[in-house]
Amino acid sequence: MVGPPGDGGNVGVLMIRCPVTGKEFSTGIETDEHSVDLIPATVAQALCPHCGTQHQWTMLEARLHEGASHIEHGASRLEER
């Protein structure tokens, strides 16, 4: 997905991997390739659509997925620490 001219670039979704199944899923957090570096180093939680449990994750474990292909979505929540 491409954003409007002058914004942060290509828009994508942050993806993490389920430690139980090894399958990747969306955190539900959409950002662009420039703003992703501005996301704070905090612990977040995501409800995994593959195993049904909450997984804690940080930006070190996430990757920006650009494109409009089929993505399994979870639900994320950021926690302040």
Q: For 4-23, what is each residue's pLDDT tens digit?
A: 433 667 899 999 999 999 99
Spell out the domain ranges in the chain: 11-78
pLDDT at 2: 43
pLDDT at 6: 39
User: How many Å separate Cα 60 from the centre of its chain?
Assistant: 11
Least Cα distance to 49 among 66, 70, 79 occurs for: 70
Q: For 20-78, what is each residue's pLDDT tens digit?
A: 999 999 999 999 988 988 888 899 999 999 999 999 999 999 999 987 544 555 555 55
pLDDT at 75: 55
